[in-house]
Amino acid sequence: MKKELRVESLKLRVNTWCYFLILLLFTFHFSLSTSYADDINSRAAVVMDASTGAILYAKNPDLRCPPASTTKLMTAIVAIERADIHDIVTISRNASRTPPHKAGFKEGDKVTVEELLNAALISSANDAAVALAEEVAGSEYRFVQLMNAKAAEIGAHDTRFINANGLPGAGQYTTATDLSKIMGYALRYSKLREIIGTRVSEISTGRGKAIFLRNTNKLLWSEDDLVGGKTGYTRKARHCFVCVAERGQDTVIVTVLGSPSREGLWKESASLITRGFYAIENNEEPVIYLAKADSMQWEAKKLLHKKKTKTKAKKYLAKKSVKKKYLAKKSVKKKYLAKKSVKKKYLAKKSVKKKSSFIAKKKGKKTLYAKRTAGKKKCRVAKKDALDRNKG
């Protein structure tokens, strides 16, 4: 009986230790994943196995973010599917005036579709993207409809475009998962694969003007495994990047959206590429990290910014109102002083007039008195002369 109790006690201890070790390993793995996710400062990120489409690592994979110039990847897909790369395109006035980053095409320049694809994907030229849209669909508006239809076909159901170049605007968004799918689809075209991996290139217009292109993707000069990628930046979107890397038989797609800095974008992208290959080689389970605090913090910042803006606007309007009242009072005071000045002038004139009238009357009285005195004097003299003559 005692032996049985000892055996049961030993089993219980072994089971307890096993559970403890499993819990410890799980805790360690979870804390490792969480700490790694905390190192990613971007709003959203995805590492995808290109061959299977499986997500190896993700942070906020379905968070809607502005795509910035990564939009041009979809522009290139629609253009290469609907136009011959050797077709000649005449640059329109609208395309040549597209702000702000441009290759420098002038109205009337003649270039091929291939050269426009190079300008759009290598140096992220907005004028090239608009020229492609106009060539394929006649207008950028109709081209955007084709872009959205293609996104749905690819399976990027949480993506919507409003233009061909990624310039900011209401209602334009994508997710890290969708952008990874779009990049995976773009790899079907060897020409697009070649262009996104080109470091520098030169194109020329029909007028003989040479345009030098340098890739905005800095990792092409430092990552040996990198096939290519597409960058993007606007103030609202922050720094964005989607790229492809190959090592042996393995291919990973890395998407980073909303990185606070360009330097941080390159560091995080390189780190995620390494993590992707490590996950495939070691057959690791996918790690998906939903940073609610991050997205909530972003929303909170937006709300705080709006609140501050409203407060500033209220204070400004209040100051303006006070200033308006002050100016109104000043205006009233000015008018009052003006009236007072007019009254003063009027009284001064009245005083002068009264004085003049008084002086004139006084002079008149003096003259009259003088005339009367002279008349009396003459009268006395005449009487005296008359008496003297009578006496004689």
63-104 residue pLDDT tens: 999 999 999 999 999 999 999 999 999 999 999 999 888 888
Helix (H) or strand (E) segment spanning residue 342: helix 292-391
Give residue 35's pLDDT: 42
Of 42, 59, 69, 150, the active-site residue reads 69
Terminal-residue alpha carbon distance, the chain: 196
Flag whether pLDDT at 156 surpasses 60: yes
324 confidence band (pLDDT: 50, 70, 90): confident
Which of 15-24, 152-161, 184-193, 290-299 is predicted least confidently?
15-24
Phi, psi dihedrals of residue 174, rounded to the nearest 5°: -150, 180
Flag whether pLDDT at 57 surpasses 70: yes
Give residue 311's pLDDT: 73
Rounded Cα distance, 178 and 257, in Å: 11
Predicted TM-score (pTM) of the model is 0.68
Q: Which residue has the higher pLDDT, 171 or 317?
A: 171
Of 59, 72, 150, 230, the active-site residue reads 72
**208-229 per-residue burial string, b: 16 or more CB within 10 A, e: under 16:** eeebebebbbbbbeebebbbbb
**Residue 180 designated active-site:** no
State how far Cα 325 lies from the chain centre: 36
333-375 residue pLDDT tens: 888 888 888 878 888 777 777 777 777 777 777 777 777 777 7
**Residue 123 designated active-site:** no
Give residue 206's pLDDT: 80
- Give the residue-averaged pLDDT of 8-25: 51
14 confidence band (pLDDT: 50, 70, 90): very low
Mean predicted lDDT score pLDDT of the chain: 85
**Residue 92 designated active-site:** no
Rounded Cα distance, 106 and 84, in Å: 22
Flag whether pLDDT at 19 surpasses 80: no
Q: Which residue has the higher pLDDT, 306 or 240?
A: 240
103-129 residue pLDDT tens: 889 999 999 999 999 999 999 999 999
Give residue 390's pLDDT: 62
Sign of CA dihedral 225, 229, 233, 239: negative
219-252 residue pLDDT tens: 999 999 999 999 999 999 999 999 999 999 999 9
Flag whether pLDDT at 49 surpasses 60: yes
Give residue 303's pLDDT: 58
Rounded Cα distance, 300 and 319, in Å: 28
Structure tokens at 311: 């407060």
298 confidence band (pLDDT: 50, 70, 90): low
Question: What is the three-state SS of 26-67?
Answer: HHHHHHHHHHHHHHCCCCEEEEEECCCCCEEEEECCCCCECC
Flag whether pLDDT at 254 surpasses 70: yes
State the greatest distance between any 2 C-alpha atoms of the chain, in Å, as a whole number. Answer: 196
Give residue 355's pLDDT: 73
Give residue 5's pLDDT: 45
Rounded Cα distance, 92 and 135, in Å: 10
Give residue 34's pLDDT: 41
Of 124, 180, 259, 269, the active-site residue reads 124
The packing angle between helices 113-122 and 72-82, to 10°, is 170
Flag whether pLDDT at 306 surpasses 80: no
Q: Note whether 231 and 214 are within 8 A (CB).
A: no
Flag whether pLDDT at 215 surpasses 80: yes
Q: Note whether 84 and 112 are within 8 A (CB).
A: no
CA angle 204, 138, 191 (to 5 degrees): 45
